[in-house]
Structure 1
Amino acid sequence: MATVIQARIPVDQFALTETFQSCPDVIFECERIVESSQTSVMPLIRIWASDTPRQTLEAALSDDPSVAEYTLIADYEDEWLYRMEWTRHIQLILTMLTNAEAIIRNVYGTSSGWSLQILFPTRDELTVTYEFCGEHDLSFDVVLIRDFDNDQFDSRYTLTHEQYEALMRGFEHGYFAVPRDITAEELADDLKISHQALSERFRRAHAALIEDTLVGRPIRRPR
């Protein structure tokens, strides 16, 4: 069975070490991720900064050995979107993931480290990754691990069809409105399940969404 993990990698073993040293407040999020066998795995990067002006950021990017080239796509004052081309400096990590036939699902970076959510075809490929890290003295700290269920309705999230149906039906009928337009008992009847089953389905769905969308994300602090 496929396996999804959330892993942490130190900044100095991946990318943008010098940029983080010059601009410690910046947060990087990969806006678009392609399969790790491609030349540019993280071509679009969204960047936030609470104190660093864009000119300072771009000066740091220009001096960073992990960056081959960058192009500003959009400017929203303290938030920017860049097209990035990376150097071979970060190829060791990418080689590790390519060898394991892994798919990078999301990536976030701060001065404290990089957080990656990665899908491995099986646990065996995850084992290959551990062995690769040991052979090359790489730090690869897995903070979350779970099986990827084939019944999930969308490959980006770990919701099952039943959890997705419960959430969407609840939303459509106003269960999440304030005040509610439908009670839990009425919603359970509509889904033809017990109140207890609905409660458990919601808890599991909420936990899955939190892991998929919040765990590993850095906290953005306004100016």
Structure 2
Amino acid sequence: MSSILEVSIDSEDFVLGRTLNVDFDVTITLEEVIPTGNRAMPYFWVSGKSLDEFEESIESDPTVEEIHQHLRLTDSALYRAQWAEQVQSLLYSIAEEEGTILDGVGSSGTWQFTLRFPDRESLSNFRQRCGELHISLDVQRVYSVSADQIDMEYGLTSKQRDTLITALEMGYFHVPRETTQQELAEELGIQSSSTSETLRRATAELIANTLLEKRTV
């Protein structure tokens, strides 16, 4: 049974948070984190009205060796960065304990994470690592989920599945739309920005586990 940790962390407590703690009108969402040696290589989305200013800022940051833009949409882009300093920090600790970032959104100096670990022991080890690294975790919720609480066919978390179904039922995907993102967020009881990120992640998972899985080479 997997263990879920919902936690808030100050941006100054980990390398990526310090580097991405910008004052521009953007929201940053972590995707996959890949451990390589003693580094962590995160993919992350940046959305907002100041993408160009964000790129100029991070390209001039001395802690960043390389920054690659993998995809650019109208108001968002997917990046991967390589850091100059060794990352014995939050992200590497997540990867070492085989953790998965279900949600990782940063803005205004604070990051909100929902992390999934294989079991309680892995979650406890992660929290112990953070204590040793002087990373302060504001734990909001810890709970367990069984395999049947995750849509294994499509790779969706229960939160992603509920958000997609609610959006469909409220007419969010209709043309023209019958509800706004803010109204959808109020129905789900979460922030509008979180709703947007959950919808995007859920849609990406559906595409990856349906259309891409069926595509022949």
TM-score, normalisation: structure 1 = 0.60
Deviations 1:128-176 (A, max 9, x none): 22222222211122223221212232353137xxx98xx69xx7xxxx3
**Alignment CA distance shift 1:75-1:104 (3 Å):** closer
- Please, which of 125, 130, 152 is the counterpart of residue 127 of structure 2? 130
SS at match of 1:12: helix
Deviation at 1:26, TM superposition (A): 1.7
Larger radius of gyration: 1
Equivalent AA in structure 2 for residue 46 of structure 1: W
Deviation at 1:78, TM superposition (A): 3.6
Q: Is contact 2:5–2:141 with CA below 8 Å preserved after alignment?
A: yes
Q: Is contact 1:3–1:120 with CA below 8 Å preserved after alignment?
A: yes
Does 1:47 pair with 2:46? yes
Deviations 1:23-59 (A, max 9, x none): 34221123x414556865423x221233x350x2222
- Please, which of 87, 108, 113 is the counterpart of residue 110 of structure 2? 113
Does 1:3 pair with 2:22? no
Distance 2:9 2:170 in 1: 40
Equivalent AA in structure 2 for residue 82 of structure 1: Y
Q: What is the aligned length?
A: 174
Q: Is contact 1:6–1:216 with CA below 8 Å preserved after alignment?
A: no
Return 5+ residue gaps in structure 2 as ranges.
Answer: 172-187, 198-217
Return 5+ residue gaps in structure 1 as ranges.
Answer: 179-209
Q: Is contact 1:33–1:105 with CA below 8 Å preserved after alignment?
A: no
Deviation at 1:4, TM superposition (A): 1.2
Equivalent AA in structure 1 for residue 194 of structure 2: R
Distance 2:13 2:62 in 1: 12
TM-score, normalisation: structure 2 = 0.62
Q: Note the aligned Cα RMSD (angstroms).
A: 3.8
Other-structure match for 2:158: 158
**Alignment CA distance shift 1:132-1:82 (3 Å):** closer
Distance 1:7 1:66 in 2: 25
SS at match of 2:56: helix
Identity %, equivalent residues: 20
